[in-house]
A and B are shown apart, each in its own frame.
Chain A
């Protein structure tokens, strides 16, 4: 086995070590450039071919661990990869709610200031270059983001995607960012510090505040933080808060999710299924919450340097999920709307978002008014200049959501075909 290991990826090696001897694993075999014919099915028991790709010498097979070892001994086999799930990420979540249609209208969040009240910010990340206006620490730990959560949220709302060639661009990529660090590296902090962070953001004159944090529910929205959020809204700021991750049990929305005037965001996936973890209403005093659901499952966004929150993608990005991720997505959309319609009040923006939401058919305590639809919110009354809806972007492959590497290869390698 030792001699075959260099050909087997680390992920597949782990899978082989855990697999039963008669289990068939889904793998992709890369052959040398000269090898064009797949012949193993005649010679190796336990190998079942599925697809042979034509543009490159790849073959998808299902094979037992022992058969994979023998495949690896073939001198024409260059590498054997584990077939891995491919999920929906930020680059698919944003089209799902119509954000690129707003970009097409020239809306980027430019001139709008968003405050992320969280674990801090890695201001050196390329996705925020030149757009971090100010940062403040209320946690006592000092500036920076030793957890990664705040940086991830900031990137969803306003990352430029510079470190990914634009792939993981946030919703409002030219918005100005303010970062109030109110939570420690543990991801926890005190309500009194969070209130201070919100006040700081208000004093800085931001137009949008995003809070991906909170307490365990239920709350009646009369706690100090919820009332601070209400006060910020009364000052003309749109405050977007996370519902929480304590679903699917009812009455699991705490503070500040229960705030009367803040926009409370639950999470769904890219197939419009409300996430089981997304906290449910009603509030402790019986009001409807959340207000909206927004994609918040497996979102790739900036990774703070030196942190390992979520599932690390590379040096600059990581994947995470939660109503924490859904919240800055909604905050980014609010920033685009504030750029488009500077005179709208928080209540008018709220009305637009709620009245234009897509009803998913779940109850009001699960989905609120429905799933955020940025394009419909942009167009909804009172719209100063009704705009013809642009054509939807051409389909570029499998449906959004979970597929597998095999499907992705089929999409990329157009010359797919059955091997037999």
Chain B
């Protein structure tokens, strides 16, 4: 059994495991997108398509229209960001994988836990 990525599910049910950052161009057969998605995360999502995951989606184009499109796909948008055209939210893993195949999506990242660096 493949261990669950540290950041895949309930965001506060995570370990402090290293986040693999070796992003790869995810170009499926017959698809034209160049969205990046962490390989470990993608593998886990493929194996657990019904799990609800927290994601951050970076995209190109009109933010309002893109956000609406993501919502129609089943992404429950939690926050919209303006500094970088992106949103965060939750959706089933299978939807996150579909989002990653959209031509206007630049990157899909699993939302992850951060911590203080003082003690």
Contacts and interface: CB of A to CB of B under 8 A. Distances in A.
Interface string B84-119: 101010000000000000000001010111111111
B78 interface: yes
Interface stretch (B12-20, B25-33, B42-50, B67-75): B12-20
A228 B79 contact: no
B18 A216 contact: yes
A324 B109 CA distance: 25
B83 interface: yes
B118 A228 contact: no
Contact of A192 (B58, B79, B119): B79
A253 to B, nearest CB: 11
Nearest to B110: A191
Interface in A177-214: 183, 187-196, 198-199, 202, 212-214
A310 B119 contact: yes
Contacts of B86: 195, 224
Secondary structure at the A interface, as helix, strand, loop or mixed, is mixed
Given A190-B112, A228-B83, A214 B54 contact: no
B2 interface: no
List of 4 A-B pairs having minimum Cβ-Cβ separation, nearest first: A324-B118, A192-B88, A322-B118, A231-B83
A199 B82 CA distance: 7
B21 A222 contact: yes
A212 B115 CA distance: 9
B116 A190 contact: no
Interface residues of A, number: 54
Nearest to B109: A224
Contacts of A213: 114-117
B22 interface: yes
Given A202-B83, A219-B19, A191 B111 contact: yes
B118 A218 contact: no
A285 B80 CA distance: 28
9 contacts: A190-B113, A199-B83, A212-B116, A222-B21, A222-B36, A224-B56, A224-B58, A231-B83, A322-B116
Given A190-B111, A222-B21, A224-B56, A195 B81 contact: yes
Contact of A324 (B79, B83, B107, B116): B116
A349 interface: no
Interface in A130-186: 147, 149, 152-153, 183
A215 B112 contact: yes
A190 B11 contact: yes
Interface of B: 11-12, 16-19, 21-23, 36, 54, 56, 58, 78-79, 81-84, 86, 88, 107, 109, 111-119
Contacts of A320: 118-119
A323 B117 contact: yes
Given A215-B19, A219-B21, A224-B56, A188 B111 contact: no
Contacts of A227: 58, 84
Nearest to B55: A192
A94 interface: no
Given A222-B36, A309-B119, 13 more contacts: A189-B115, A191-B111, A192-B88, A213-B117, A214-B117, A215-B112, A222-B21, A222-B107, A242-B117, A254-B19, A255-B114, A322-B116, A323-B117
B12 A188 contact: yes
Contacts of B118: 149, 152-153, 212, 245, 309-310, 320-325
Contacts of B88: 192, 195
A324 B118 CA distance: 5
Contacts of A198: 83
Contacts of A242: 117
Contacts of B54: 190, 192
Contacts of A212: 116-118
Nearest to A189: B114
B114 A190 contact: yes
A202 B84 CA distance: 12
A220 B114 contact: no
A284 interface: yes
A119 B78 CA distance: 20
Nearest to A325: B118
Contacts of A254: 19
B18 to A, nearest CB: 5
A294 to B, nearest CB: 13
A309 B118 CA distance: 9
A228 B19 contact: no
B111 to A, nearest CB: 5
A255 B19 CA distance: 10
B83 A192 contact: no
B109 A214 contact: no
Nearest to B56: A224
A9 to B, nearest CB: 26
A36 interface: no
Contacts of A381: none
A124 interface: no
A187 B58 CA distance: 27
